[in-house]
Amino acid sequence: MIARRAPAQPSLQRTLLVWLLLPLLALIPLAAALIYLLALRPALDGLDRALTDTTVALAEVLERRDGQVTLPLSEQTARALRADAVDRVDFAVGDPHGRLLGGDPALLALAPRLAAGQWRFFETTLQQRPVRIAAHAVACAEAPDAAPCSILVAETLGKRAAAARAALLAALLGAVALALPMAGLALLAVRYGMRPLRRAAAAVAALTPDRLEPVDARQVPREAQSFVVALNDLLRRLREAAAAQRTFIADAAHQLRTPLAVLRVDAAQALAQPHPPELQPVLSRLHAAAERGARLAQQLLALARAEGAALDGAWRAQHLDLARLAAEAADRWLQPSLQAGQDLGFDLQPAWVTGDPLLLAELLGNLLHNAIEHAGRGARITVRTRTRDARAELCVEDDGPGIAPDEHARLWQRFQRGRAAAGTGSGLGLAIVRDIASLHGAEALLAADAQGVGLCVCIRLPAASSN
């Protein structure tokens, strides 16, 4: 079965350009035709005036003597009348009875019937050549009702064709000179008009679940402001819903901390007190469940705090050294690592950043907890800090069993654990690390350690100066 192609999405810019350019495509030919006519008409009128002048000159030569009409025209004058650098010019003069007084008899045969004083211009063929003819009737008899004399001047169409070509070229050049700027201005106008919408679209595209800032509607055209206002209202409701969800999680986790802490202490005391051997498995499971619940409540609080800081911009940016942050965490994590039979070491070089010390301490705590929980007894765990390539690095690596590369992307998601994961983890540690790293503009990477074994989790943050 052939899949149907999805319909093309409508484009506001394309629609505006179509509505602007289609009328332009219709108007430009009309403008070109108008330019052509306006340029050609005066040229043709000028050529007709030249024929008129020749006709008037011939009428002045006519003489009336003894009731007869003659045309005393010398051969030299006749050649002058016919002289033309481009076209061939012929003339013919006939008396009232239609007899030839001078010129070309074939041309006289084309004389129309005109009353005295009338003019007529027409085009026809003379000796197989297209010509333009000016015909004029001149009163040449004394009787008022006598027939007039006919004077015709014919000219081939060379100059007229050249004038038509020149007018056509002028019309085409004028149309192009008109069309190109107008099309360019239309394109620039549409693009300029679309700039506020593009800025608004870029602002919307930059939104993330962690940053739902309202879009600035002040520079958006009035026609789109209602859409931006509705979008900002939706973003406001999303922020309120996210804030309510975070508050619920934080409140629930906070309320669970006290009973879980009591349960954890009581379970530890019960294990420490003498008890029947058959209760040992039950008390151990109870203590492990209390430990896991307390850890989960703490992680939920950390997750809510990280999301709240990202959405509300409430995180406290300070200038701090990651090496000092890691050194301060040593006392807290040395004892758990010793109890797990592991060697926890520190390779600390100055690595200055701008960030929230509480959130970064939570990030490091989650990395160390994961390493202690999953590296196994006898593992070596190393915390490293350094600055390299304008990035400050905080890395926790171990030589434990590691994680298959195909699982790395999935482990950044919430409540996801490796297939071979042991311990009491809930799958939130790396998700919290990812959220805190994202809040600080950092990248979080999972890979094997330098020797190709175990696991190395490295957070690369923008480095700050040490001053």
Of residues 67 and 176, more confidently modeled: 176
Of residues 347 and 279, more confidently modeled: 347
pLDDT at position 305: 61
Measure the CA–CA gap between 226 and 333, rounded to whole angstroms. Answer: 55
Per-residue pLDDT band at 263 (split at 50, 70, 90): low
Contacts 24+ apart (CB under 8 A), 130-136: 130/156, 130/157, 131/90, 131/155, 131/156, 131/157, 132/47, 132/48, 132/51, 132/156, 132/157, 132/160, 133/51, 133/107, 134/48, 134/51, 134/52, 134/54, 134/55, 135/111, 136/52, 136/55, 136/56, 136/59
Per-residue pLDDT band at 464 (split at 50, 70, 90): confident
Per-residue pLDDT band at 250 (split at 50, 70, 90): low
Q: Is residue 356 within 8 Å of residue 350, measured between CB atoms? A: no
- Average pLDDT (409-422) is 68
**Dihedral over alpha carbons 326, 327, 330, 332 (to 10 degrees):** -80
Of residues 192 and 388, more confidently modeled: 388
pLDDT at position 252: 59
In the predicted structure, residue 312 carries a pLDDT above the cut 50: yes
Q: Is residue 462 within 8 Å of residue 391, measured between CB atoms? A: yes
pLDDT at position 308: 58
Write down the mean pLDDT value for the chain.
80
- Average pLDDT (284-301) is 64
- Average pLDDT (51-72) is 86
Q: Is residue 414 within 8 Å of residue 433, measured between CB atoms? A: no
pLDDT at position 154: 93
- Average pLDDT (60-80) is 84
In the predicted structure, residue 433 carries a pLDDT above the cut 50: yes
Per-residue pLDDT band at 1 (split at 50, 70, 90): very low
- From the options 3.30.565.10, 3.40.50.620, 3.40.1190.20, 3.90.1150.10, give the CATH code of 316-462: 3.30.565.10
pLDDT tens, position by position, 352-375: 999 888 888 888 888 888 888 888
pLDDT tens, position by position, 197-243: 778 778 777 777 667 778 877 777 777 778 888 888 888 887 777 67
3-state class of 72 per DSSP? coil
In the predicted structure, residue 31 carries a pLDDT above the cut 90: no
Measure the CA–CA gap between 403 and 267, rounded to whole angstroms. Answer: 32
Per-residue pLDDT band at 296 (split at 50, 70, 90): low
Please state which CATH class domain 13-165 belongs to: alpha beta
pLDDT at position 452: 66
Supply the DSSP symbol for 118: -
Residue boundaries of the structural domains of the chain: 13-165, 209-314, 316-462
pLDDT at position 36: 87
Q: What percent of the chain has pLDDT over 90?
A: 13
Measure the CA–CA gap between 111 and 380, rounded to whole angstroms. Answer: 121
Q: Taking the CA of residue 385 as centre, how many other CA atoms within 13 Å lie in the half-sphere pointing to its CB?
A: 19
Q: Is residue 94 within 8 Å of residue 149, measured between CB atoms? A: yes
Phi/psi for 346 (5° steps) reads -130, 130
Q: Which two tokens stand for residue 52?
A: 């008129």
* Least confident among 21-35, 68-82, 309-323: 309-323
- Average pLDDT (44-69) is 87
- Average pLDDT (257-280) is 69
Distance of CA 287 to the CA centre of its chain: 59
Q: Which residues of 399-414 are buried (b: 16+ CB within 10 A; e: fewer)?
A: bbbbbeeeebeebeee
pLDDT tens, position by position, 111-129: 999 988 899 999 999 988 9
pLDDT at position 132: 93
